Structure 1
């Protein structure tokens, strides 16, 4: 049997602890476009579909009392979510000016590209990676 092909990543799903705070962070601060927003009464849960300019999506969920995610360095599971940007320093300066702590910019030893890390309101590690 021939192996089928994975074409792309469609979306990344994130569960937040404070829906309004995370919605503002991802839409107003990071500038992601809202595709759809739905309240699911049976689950007491919001689902917000967000789009990046290339068509990739982030699904932002709220649930009552979600357990915190272990986030120590090199913990098992999703390590971080990386966004491609035209200028890492410019975006890092923008985040810093808006009260977001950003790590010092580093250069990938293999690609020579600049990158840095910051966190969303729940401590999810996010990366900016130079185009």
Structure 2
């Protein structure tokens, strides 16, 4: 088996309209497709990332909240690569998003910070290494 990369990431949200606005307006992800699945009373929103990876946003009525703190087993967070973590952090803060202080990854020396989506899902901004691209 030869894995080629990540095709998509899927997120289940608590409030579809609020999360749709966050991912499309606050983060600026373009909509690829949006479908209401009547049999499941559920929306599916396909969003695009610049590298071709997709982010799928789902709404499921009555979905339980995600345990986050203390950290639970399972997916820890979703990290977005950015060229300039200072500029990305400032852009989010200008839109009213609370963003943690910038830290340095002790293993890679790269700078990063965390923020959360409307449901408290931890999201990370990780400064890319231009020489590795």
**TM tier, smaller:** over 0.9
Q: 1:89-122: CA deviations, max 9, x gaps?
A: 1111111111111010001111111000000000
**In the alignment, structure 1 residue 29 sits paired with structure 2 residue 38:** no
Residues in 2 aligned to 1:113 and 1:44: alpha-carbon distance in whole angstroms:
42
- Equivalent residue, structure 2, for 1:111: 108
**In the alignment, structure 1 residue 60 sits paired with structure 2 residue 81:** no
Q: TM-score, normalised by structure 2?
A: 0.94
Q: TM-score, normalised by structure 1?
A: 0.95
Unaligned 5+ runs, structure 2? 129-133
Cα deviation, residue 74, structure 1: 2.8
SS class of match (2:11) = strand
Residues in 2 aligned to 1:125 and 1:88: alpha-carbon distance in whole angstroms:
16
Counterparts of 1:1-131 in structure 2 under 5 Å? 4-131=1-128
Unaligned 5+ runs, structure 1? none
Q: 1:62-90: CA deviations, max 9, x gaps?
A: 01111101011331010000000010011
Residues in 1 aligned to 2:32 and 2:85: alpha-carbon distance in whole angstroms:
26
Q: Find runs of 4+ consecutive structure 1 residues off by over 2 angstroms.
A: none
Residues in 2 aligned to 1:45 and 1:108: alpha-carbon distance in whole angstroms:
38
Residues in 1 aligned to 2:70 and 2:109: alpha-carbon distance in whole angstroms:
23
**Aligned length in residues:** 128
Residues in 2 aligned to 1:98 and 1:29: alpha-carbon distance in whole angstroms:
7
